[in-house]
């Protein structure tokens, strides 16, 4: 675990930052897949953690949530439109016909029926404001701290090619993104904030991010 900004810690859960969680003050953001819950708990051992929040209810972010909240005995919150998926333990992915059964199998995780809603404008941790950033999931949220330009944005963008692991800003995979056009709008909205540090679910932290993020958003198709 490494401090990447004031009271913001990066928890890489898989090699080459391919799956990430974060600790912001006393709030844990995301928890990886189920098998990574132990790594999360080891990383935060000895620290005060009072709440767990999710950028979205996909198994590579919420898969470890059940074990983490049971071990730490803390409440969990996620975007309101992702709560049905989180309560059921099943991602709402509309994959093409041949992949639909595969999506049901690998899109499931341990249900968290007690999860409550995060809403735009809520403040979590040390001054992070919740932003609605739908597209990759219906209830996807991001966390923005204006005073130093830190943005935690889950899978609105990836900062690596998921096949090659080569760093660089990318859209999330279309088969796993129910509404790519809406996600592109979320990217543009976040780019307009001119974030200085962008922290994502998959890929390394992006420093000095304002210009490359705006340029990346400007190259996106206009839907």
pLDDT at 130 over 60: yes
pLDDT at site 38: 98
pLDDT at 97 over 90: no
pLDDT per position as a tens digit, 135-145: 999 999 999 99
Binned at pLDDT 50, 70 and 90, residue 223 comes out as: confident
pLDDT at 98 over 60: no
pLDDT at 128 over 60: yes
Asked if 190 and 133 count as a contact pair (C-beta separation under 8 A), the reply is yes
Q: Which residue has the higher pLDDT, 97 or 109?
A: 109
pLDDT at 213 over 90: yes
pLDDT at 96 over 60: no
Q: Which CATH architecture describes the domain 2-218?
A: 4-Layer Sandwich (3.60)
pLDDT at site 222: 86
Mean pLDDT across 36-44: 98
pLDDT at 100 over 90: no
pLDDT at site 175: 86
What would the DSSP string read from start to end of 168-221? EEEPPPGGG-S-HHHHHHHHHHHHTT--SEEE-SSS--EES-HHHHHHHHHTS-
pTM, to two decimals: 0.95
Mean pLDDT across 31-58: 97
Q: Which residue has the higher pLDDT, 222 or 142?
A: 142
Range in 44-48, 202-206, 209-213, 219-223 the model is least confident about: 219-223
Tell whether the torsion through CA atoms of 92, 134, 71 and 36 is positive or negative. positive
Mean pLDDT across 10-20: 97
Asked if 112 and 66 count as a contact pair (C-beta separation under 8 A), the reply is yes
**What is the separation, in whole angstroms, between the first and last Cα of the chain?**
39
pLDDT at 112 over 80: yes
């Amino acid at each position: 675990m490494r401090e990447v900004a004031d009271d913001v810690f990066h928890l890489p859960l898989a090699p080459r930052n391919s799956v990430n969680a974060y600790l912001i003050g006393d709030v844990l953001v995301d928890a990886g897949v189920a098998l990574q819950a132990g790594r999360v708990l080891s990383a935060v051992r000895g620290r005060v953690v009072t709440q767990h929040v999710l950028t979205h209810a996909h198994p590579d972010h919420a898969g470890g949530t059940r074990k983490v909240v049971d071990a730490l005995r803390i409440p969990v919150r996620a975007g309101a439109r992702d709560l049905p998926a989180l309560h059921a333990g099943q991602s709402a992915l509309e994959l093409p016909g041949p992949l639909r059964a595969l999506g049901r199998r690998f899109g499931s995780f341990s249900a968290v029926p007690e999860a409550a809603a995060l809403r735009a404008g809520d403040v979590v941790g040390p001054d992070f404001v919740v932003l609605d950033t739908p597209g990759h999931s219906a209830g996807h949220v991001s966390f923005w701290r204006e005073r130093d330009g830190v943005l935690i944005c889950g899978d609105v963008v990836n900062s690596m090619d998921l096949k090659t692991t080569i760093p660089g800003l990318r859209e999330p995979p279309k088969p796993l993104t129910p509404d790519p056009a809406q996600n592109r709008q979320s990217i543009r909205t976040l780019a307009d904030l001119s974030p200085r540090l962008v922290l994502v679910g998959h890929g390394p932290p992006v420093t000095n991010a304002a210009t490359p993020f705006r340029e990346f958003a400007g190259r996106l198709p206009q839907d």
